[in-house]
Amino acid sequence: MQLTINVNGKEYSIESGKSLLDLIKQYIPNAKYGIIAAREGDKLIELTTPIGENKSVEWVKTDSSEGIAILRHSTSHIMALAVKRLFPKTLVAIGPSTDDGFYYDFDSETRFNEEDFTKIEAEMQKIIDSDLPFVRKEVSKAEALAKFKDEGEIYKAEIIGEIDAETVSLYTTGEFVDLCRGPHIPSTSYIRAFKLTKIAGAYWRGDEKNKMLQRIYGTAFADSKSLKAYLTMLEEAKERDHRKIGKEMGLFGFYQEGPGFPFWKPNGMVLYNGIVDYWRRIHRQNGYIEVKTPIILNEDLWHRSGHWANYSENMYFTKIDGDSYAVKPMNCPGGILIYNDGIHSYKELPLKIAELGLVHRHEKSGVLHGLFRVRQFTQDDAHIYCTKEQVKGEVEKVIALVQKIYSDFGFDDVHIELSTRPDKSIGSDEMWELAEKSLKEALEELKIEYKVNPKDGAFYGPKIDFHIKDAIGRSWQCGTIQCDFAMPERFDMSYIGADGKKHRPVMLHRAILGSIERFIGILIEHYKGKFPFWLAPEQLRILPIAAAHLEYANSVKNFLQNFGFRVTIDESSEKLGAKIKQARLDRVHTIAIIGDSEMNSKLVTVRKADMEENRTLKLDELVDFFIDLNNNTK
């Protein structure tokens, strides 16, 4: 019998029982390796699946995110086969694809190290070259369980025990049989480019009470060019590491005396203050007022807020006059005390109160990571107190502000995620429903695409998260809006409505940069330390050619400093070439060269430190040039 298969709107006729792979071979033979699976509605179909009816499908290609995930997942099976060939006593746990590759967890008496990678990669290449098929087989749960138990594969057996289905699918590649949902590539030769990247310990099921397994990471791409580009990106990321650049530029430091507590050096302080100045200005422009609340507050407050019950493992405590106090991990309870100090009218709402709040959170020692994960940081926090009816509109305004601010910092690619009620939470079901609905509606009203993260909300409310993409394509979570009906209830907050009666306000928590410290880390990596003019710690360095030019250089410096520009002079007795090199290493924004000709004609020759082009300007023109630079970036 002939079947009609509609692929991407084009019709093909093939015999019943043949597969999509046969179809490709017959009609589009030069597509080999580019097409990796097909999608029918939400369902992914393997190319080798026999077809028994007319269908309408779309190709899944290796350059799509679904396609690359299949490719990587299959590569993880190939790695597991290679590892089992080389180290036969090894047990396998799980081996999924990840955002940038794949891994497989192994339980082995052999301690693997990176020197083993060459061996494993060679074995994998052998497997790929021998073009072994991936063969899917459905078996009963009991049969699969018996098989893996016989082989002592305790991890696989444990997973099967928890699967809620009559049958499970097994995939055979060579002599390796794995429990797996699929889909997979038709055969191993589809893998064109792969590499093992690192090895690390990982707990079975991510639980530190369980045995630690050995996780081998790798990655695979549709072709070697993409793999190479990825590896180059990793190198580039290393070059941009904010910990390295921070040290080189004298921005910040961490010392043994305070693990996780950043110290800001003078150049870093310029960045920090530049951001804060900008932040204050734009918040004023958007109708926010500002407060500051204490860092240490009485234990009682934290019981009322729910932090004691839900967050105490991350909090620092202290005693004052025999009473127990906690160091704030969040700013909201303090802000609420200010709100509750007095009566509020509905006419004041929405009330937008911002706070650059210094918070302390006791993060586990192993998670600290430069400025990205610290124990003390400043949230660019704000709390918006409003009526239920105002929530949606206020959320929309925050979203607009978030986008404006990111774009001012040079981030134009933003994506949004919505996180819903976690298992550990406070507040009633109705509150949660209403809160989640308000956030959803705001996003839908603005026609913004978003992804849902189930159970990932804060303990007091659901949240919208904002992620920005940096110069080398990495994504960072920064901003957040959290919709909170619970705190107002707990703290018995109220406003007087038009009806003269007390009503409960809704509280929106929001941060845009997230943490100033972390945001600076992201900026460093985004700009690779070459900050735009308004943020650059050293905006201009004057390089006098000889000692005779120092006096004129100083007068130029003073002139520019009066306008508020950050100017230094290289007074060393080096040659010009050496001074230029040093200025570039220090990532100075612009350099000015002053020699006889400039001194005699009262001019300055400037150039951006990383460019070749020179401009010779009058001092007034230089000031205008700098003012332009400032305006262009903000």
List the catalytic residues. 332, 361, 379, 381, 383, 463, 509
124-143 positions binding RNA, by CB under 7 A: none
Q: Which of 469, 595, 608, 617 binds RNA (CB under 7 A)?
A: 595
C-alpha torsion angle, residues 438, 442, 445, 449 (rounded to 10): -120
What number of other Cβ atoms are within 10 A of residue 499's Cβ?
Answer: 8
Q: Which is nearer to RNA, 46 or 381 (CB)?
A: 381
580 near RNA, judged by CB under 7 A: yes
| Sole window of 13-21, 175-183, 374-382, 398-406 interacting with RNA (rule: CB under 7 A) | 374-382
Give the residue carrying structure tokens 């949902």.
181
Closest among 544, 599, 601 to 567, alpha carbons compared: 544
Binding segment for RNA (CB under 7 A), chosen from 272-280, 319-327, 434-442, 541-549, is: 541-549
Site string for RNA, 438-477 (x = CB under 7 A): --------------------x------x-----------x
Nearer to RNA, 22 or 116 (CB): 116
267 lies in the site for RNA, by CB under 7 A:
no
Report if residue 268 touches RNA, rule: CB under 7 A: no
3-class state of residue 143 by DSSP? helix
Residue with tokens 């150049």: 267
Q: Is 243 in the site for RNA (CB under 7 A)?
A: yes
Residues touching RNA: how many (CB under 7 A)? 62
Question: Identity (one letter) of the amino acid at 260?
Answer: G
Paired residues of 13 in beta bridges: 4
3-state secondary structure of 388: helix
| Closer residue to RNA, CB minimum distance, 365 or 562 | 365
Which DSSP state fits 99? S
Enclosing H/E stretch for 289: strand 289-290
Return the number of the residue (248 or 277) whose C-beta is nearest RNA.
Answer: 248
Q: Which is nearer to RNA, 50 or 250 (CB)?
A: 250
Percent composition of the chain: helix, strand, coil (DSSP 3-state, to 5): 40, 30, 30
Closer to RNA by Cβ: residue 141 or 247? 247
366 binds RNA per the rule CB under 7 A:
yes
Q: Does 152 bind RNA (CB under 7 A)?
A: no
- Residue 607 lies near RNA (rule: CB under 7 A): yes
Name the one range near RNA by CB under 7 A: 442-450, 533-541, 558-566, 595-603.
595-603
Residue selected from 368, 496, 617, 619 as contacting RNA according to rule CB under 7 A:
368
- Residue 578 lies near RNA (rule: CB under 7 A): yes
184, 96 Cβ separation under 8 angstroms: no
Sheet harboring 10-15: ordered strands across?
A: 10-15, 2-7, 55-61, 35-40, 43-45
Is residue 518 close enough to count as binding RNA by CB under 7 A? yes
**CA dist., res. 208 & res. 299, Å (int):** 30
- Chosen residue from 37, 57, 94, 202 binding RNA by CB under 7 A: 202
Which one-letter amino acid corresponds to residue 515? S
254 lies in the site for RNA, by CB under 7 A? yes
Stretch touching RNA by CB under 7 A, among 27-35, 390-398, 441-449, 602-610? 602-610
> 195 is written with which tokens?
């590499």
Nearest to 613 by CA among 581, 582, 591: 591
**297-299-301-307 Cα dihedral, nearest 10 degrees:** 110
Amino acid at 229: A
Beta carbon nearer to RNA, 48 or 515:
515
595, 550 in Cβ contact below 8 A? no
Distance CA 573, CA 489 (A): 68
Distances (CA, A) of 55 to 20, 24, 411: 11, 15, 43
Nearer to RNA, 177 or 245 (CB): 245
Q: Could you say which DSSP state residue 583 is in? A: H
Q: Which of residues 376-405 bind RNA (CB under 7 A)?
A: 377, 379
What is the residue type of 184? H
Contact residues toward RNA (CB under 7 A) are: 198, 200-203, 206, 208, 212, 215, 243, 247, 254, 256, 259-260, 361, 363-370, 373-375, 377, 379, 458, 465, 477-478, 480, 511, 514-515, 517-518, 545-548, 572-578, 580-581, 584, 593, 595-598, 605, 607, 610, 614
